[in-house]
Amino acid sequence: MKEIILIKNGEIALKGLNRSTFEDAMIKNIRRRMAHLGKVDAKKAQSTVTIEPKDEFFDMDAACDIVSKVFGVSAFCRACEIEKDMETIKKTAAEYLKNQLSFAKTFKVLAKRSDKKFPLTSPEICREVGGYLLSKYHNLSVDVIDPEVSVVIEVRDKFAYIHSAQTDGAGGIPTGTGGRAMLLISGGIDSPVAGYMMAKRGLELSAIHFASPPYTSERALEKVKDLLRQMTHYTGRIKLYTVCFTKIQEQIRDRVKEEYSTLVMRRFMMRIANKIAEKNGSLALITGESLGQVASQTLPSIQCTDAVSTLPTFRPLIGMDKEEIVAISRKIETFDISVQPFEDCCTVFTPKHPKTKPNLSDFEKVESVMDIEALVNEAVETVETEFVSAF
Ligand code: ATP
Ligand code: MG
């Protein structure tokens, strides 16, 4: 029996003339992430992609787990590919779904016939296969409303496919088809979720992290890499830029009024991220900010941080509550890493009473005590890079 993975692409199907480009990108992402499992053959036809293993000991469970995290996939299932012949279809349905059919009380058959030349109509296929399964499994009766097992028969151009209920995919648009963006990643809960959400809309991610050794430890940086590695199950590999932020933070601490320090720091982050993003072809920045979550995320504060940025900044969490963000971080399995207690450069230098309603006009004076351009250029020139990937 030849088992394959059938993949349905949802939103991609709406892409008209560009559809092929999106499908190809999705297939490329699947191939790349499955490379370690062995050879596969990937074909596309009629809003469906089939993944056929070409190695004898191919791990189908692992392959399905990978597919469940690839953006662009709206649903998928393991299926049996067979000749378009009613005898074969009936016998294979009984055999392929044996484990489920043997223990269920109710079932239904669902037929989809995209090959209109096939001699039987969909209701006729259902009746024939249903009758055959009833004759083989005396434990079963038909329930078309709420069956325990759905037996799906798809008759397509070249082959017929048999499977049971399909699993929801990750949805979204294939990563990389929307260009590249730079995620500002801390070690917290929010920024990995923000990155995941924008990758879901088709963006390829790079990431930038500001570290302040020796105030922040090597372990804090490792935590950021662990977060990124976990994200790459969804986003594909990510290039990380690590910026040494120590000198800037010390100057802020020593020269800037405490109540302004967080925002001055955030404005430095934005300036540096803009420069590095432009160099690496990123067309936008992404942050994990959520309106009103902390003093630096009030509307006046965000206006002050945005003012130094020329690239658009995507803040996909801006209207979300913490619980909603946590729910996504649990789903993508970054939560347990995020809550590990390692200091971030923001927390090390947190002022007691940060401004919540800053005036943009204040910053010219507040920041005049620092050589902004020299500090930014030095940070950009000394940035360290590496690729992070779980594959
Ligand atoms: P998070 O949970 O993502 O750390 P947060 O609620 O702690 O967010 P802030 O510390 O105010 O919020 O940071 C807001 C955003 O700024 C983060 O979501 C992230 O995008 C960016 N950011 C904060 N610290 C860093 C850092 N050390 N390096 C890179 N980006 C950072
Ligand atoms: Mg943080």
DSSP codes, 320-374: --HHHHHHHHHHTT-HHHHTS----HHHHT--SS--SS--TTHHHHHGGGS-HHH
Least confident of 146-160, 291-305, 312-326, 328-342: 291-305
Q: Which fold has domain 2-168?
A: VC0802-like (3.30.2130)
Going from N- to C-terminal start, the domains of the chain cover 2-168, 180-388
Q: Is the pLDDT of residue 296 over 70?
A: yes
Q: Which residues contact 354 (CB under 8 A, 6 or more apart)?
A: 259, 261, 262, 263, 295, 296
Closest to 229 (Cα-Cα) out of 203, 212, 211, 207: 207
Percent of the chain with pLDDT strictly greater than 90 = 84
Is 288 close to ligand 1, i.e. is its CB under 6 Å away?
Answer: yes
Q: Whose CA is nearest to atom 31 of ligand 1?
A: 186
Ligand 2 centre distance from Cα of residue 347 (Å)? 7
Q: Whose CA is nearest to atom 24 of ligand 1?
A: 186
Please give the C-alpha separations between residue 60 and each of 32, 34, 49, 290, 389, in angstroms, as whole numbers: 16, 10, 16, 39, 21
User: Which ligand 1 atom sits nearest the alpha carbon of residue 297?
Assistant: 11
SS3 state at 3: strand
| From 182, 184, 186, mutation site for ligand 1 pocket: most ligand atoms within 8 A of C-beta | 186
Q: What is the pLDDT of residues 54-88, one digit of tens each?
A: 988 899 999 999 999 999 999 999 999 999 999 99
- Determine the Cα angle at 63 with ends 158 and 223, to 5°: 150
Q: Is the pLDDT of residue 46 over 80?
A: no
Q: Is the pLDDT of residue 124 over 90?
A: yes
- Tally of residues, the chain: 391
Q: Quick one: pLDDT band at residue 1, thresholds 50, 70, 90?
A: confident
For domain 180-388, give its CATH number from 1.10.510.10, 3.40.50.12780, 3.40.50.620, 3.30.70.1710: 3.40.50.620
Q: What is the pLDDT of residues 165-209, one digit of tens each?
A: 999 999 999 999 999 999 999 999 999 999 999 999 999 999 999
Q: Which residues contact 26 (CB under 8 A, 6 or more apart)?
A: 7, 9, 12, 49, 70, 71, 72, 73, 174
Question: DSSP secondary-structure letter at 142?
Answer: E
Amino acid at the residue 356: T
pLDDT of residue 346: 63
Please give the C-alpha separations between residue 283 and each of 53, 176, 274, 286, 310, in angstroms, as whole numbers: 37, 12, 9, 10, 10
Q: Quick one: pLDDT band at residue 367, thresholds 50, 70, 90?
A: very high
β-pair partners for 4: 79
Q: Is the pLDDT of residue 351 over 80?
A: no
Q: How far apart are CA 263 and CA 389, in angstroms?
A: 32
Q: Quick one: pLDDT band at residue 359, thresholds 50, 70, 90?
A: confident
User: Which ligand 1 atom sits nearest the alpha carbon of residue 294?
Assistant: 11
Structural tokens at position 226? 């662990």
Mean pLDDT (whole number) for 21-36: 93
Closest to 265 (Cα-Cα) out of 213, 291, 304, 303: 304
Task: Provide DSSP, 229-298.
Answer: HHHHHHH--EEEEEEE-HHHHHHHHHHS-HHHHHHHHHHHHHHHHHHHHHHTT---EE----TTSSGGGS
Q: How far apart are CA 183 and CA 206, in angstroms?
A: 6
Q: How far apart are CA 129 and CA 206, in angstroms?
A: 51
Ligand 1 centre distance from Cα of residue 191 (Å)? 6
Mean pLDDT (whole number) for 268-285: 98
User: Which ligand 1 atom sits nearest the alpha carbon of residue 286?
Assistant: 20
Q: Whose CA is nearest to atom 25 of ligand 1?
A: 186
Q: Quick one: pLDDT band at residue 336, thresholds 50, 70, 90?
A: very high
Q: Is the peptide bond before 119 cis (omega within 30 degrees of 0)?
A: no
SS3 state at 189: coil
Amino acid at the residue 109: V
Q: Whose CA is nearest to atom 21 of ligand 1?
A: 184
Q: Is the pLDDT of residue 366 over 70?
A: yes
- Determine the Cα angle at 177 with ends 74 and 157, to 5°: 50
Q: Which residue has the tokens 């020299």?
A: 374
Ligand nearest to the CA of 350: 1
Q: How far apart are CA 181 and CA 169, in angstroms?
A: 23
Is 289 close to ligand 1, i.e. is its CB under 6 Å away?
Answer: yes
pTM for the whole thing?
A: 0.92
User: Which ligand 1 atom sits nearest the alpha carbon of residue 345?
Assistant: 27
Q: Is the pLDDT of residue 12 over 80?
A: no
Q: How far apart are CA 291 and CA 286, in angstroms?
A: 14
